[in-house]
């Protein structure tokens, strides 16, 4: 895997780079594992509910198997592919019973290797098993929160959690953010770090490439008029002009906790993540 930096031929190319994964397979995606994408462009009943979304290149959804519930049936990796809907790579697995499925690719996965899901398996990257059978200190990903619901956390490119301890019915895992969370030992997890770890080093380079991704322009509040934004107004390049920044609707922004105080999963968080400096 390498990062390709373009020649500085134009202003847009000056700071542009892309990730070139070395083990990608040159093949078209599996047809019956594709679904039509009906994007709403941030609209709910025709009204904008999420700003700065719209347009973008046409995509088709890859049906990724996050459960990997083919217990005890090994599968051979047929291809490693890019998924336009996520930053991690995906792997097409051909199981011994003849079924093909897309799974989230782990670091080290390549064409021809075999993976398996079982209660207890060999400690090989890409294999999936119950957390209670994984040694402490192991890096895991695509972790279940509720047994049988499939992987819900630690799924983005390059992420991985460390299994800290096993205690009675619960296991403690340390997330990439520094948060320590308790998860039931009966939950499944994939061994190894998620693929495409160099994704964060990519430079978009130009506004047009963001538009291909379906991201519309964002205008700073400080350049608006007072009627349009609380940060607006003032002479020349003035700041927000207030102690704490606000949203266009006057609500606190940047640092305001949005998590519900009585959220059911609060009891599973042993240590919160630290603040960014």
Q: What is the CATH number of the domain that holds 104?
A: 2.40.50.140
Specify if 52 maps to a domain. Answer: yes
Specify if 141 maps to a domain. Answer: yes
Tens-place pLDDT, residues 228-264: 999 999 998 999 989 999 999 999 998 888 889 999 9
- Residue 276: pLDDT above 80? no
Nearest to 201 by CA among 7, 17, 6: 17
- Residue 1: pLDDT above 70? no
Specify if 122 maps to a domain. Answer: yes
Domain ranges, residue 133: 21-200
Tens-place pLDDT, residues 159-192: 999 999 998 899 999 999 999 999 999 999 999 9
Specify if 249 maps to a domain. Answer: no
Find the distance separating the first CA and the last CA of the chain, reported in whole Å.
30
Secondary structure of residue 4 in the 3-state scheme: strand
The number of domains in the chain is 1
Specify if 58 maps to a domain. Answer: yes
- Residue 31: pLDDT above 90? yes
Specify if 245 maps to a domain. Answer: no
Tens-place pLDDT, residues 45-61: 999 999 999 999 999 99
In percent, how much of the chain has pLDDT > 90?
77
pTM above 0.75, yes or no: yes
Strand 170-174 and strand 180-184: the pairing is antiparallel
* Per-residue model confidence (pLDDT) at position 114: 93
């Amino acid at each position: 895997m390498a990062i390709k930096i373009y020649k500085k031929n134009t202003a847009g190319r000056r700071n542009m780079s892309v990730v070139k994964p070395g083990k990608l397979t040159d093949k078209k995606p599996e047809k019956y594992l594709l679904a039509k994408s009906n994007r709403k462009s941030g609209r709910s009943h025709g009204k904008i509910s999420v700003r700065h979304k719209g347009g973008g290149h046409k995509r088709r959804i890859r049906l990724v198997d996050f459960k990997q519930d083919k217990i005890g049936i090994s599968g051979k990796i047929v291809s490693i592919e890019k998924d336009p809907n996520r930053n991690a790579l995906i792997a097409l697995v051909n199981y011994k019973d003849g079924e093909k499925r897309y799974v989230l690719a782990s670091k080290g996965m390549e064409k021809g290797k075999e993976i398996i899901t079982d209660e207890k398996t060999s400690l090989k990257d890409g294999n999936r098993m119950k957390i209670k059978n994984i040694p402490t200190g192991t890096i895991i990903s695509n972790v279940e929160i509720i047994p049988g619901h499939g992987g819900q956390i630690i799924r983005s490119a390059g992420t991985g959690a460390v299994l800290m301890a096993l205690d009675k019915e619960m296991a403690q895992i340390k997330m990439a953010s520094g948060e320590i969370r308790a998860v039931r030992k009966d939950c499944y997890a994939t061994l190894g770090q998620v693929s495409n770890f160099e994704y964060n080093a990519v430079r978009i380079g130009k506004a047009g490439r963001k538009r291909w991704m379906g991201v519309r322009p964002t205008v700073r509040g400080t350049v608006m008029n007072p009627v349009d934004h609380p940060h607006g107004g003032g002479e020349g390049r003035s700041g927000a002009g207030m102690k704490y920044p606000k949203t266009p609707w006057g609500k606190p922004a940047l640092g305001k906790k949005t998590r519900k105080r009585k959220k059911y999963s609060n009891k599973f968080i042993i240590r919160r993540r630290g603040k960014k400096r």
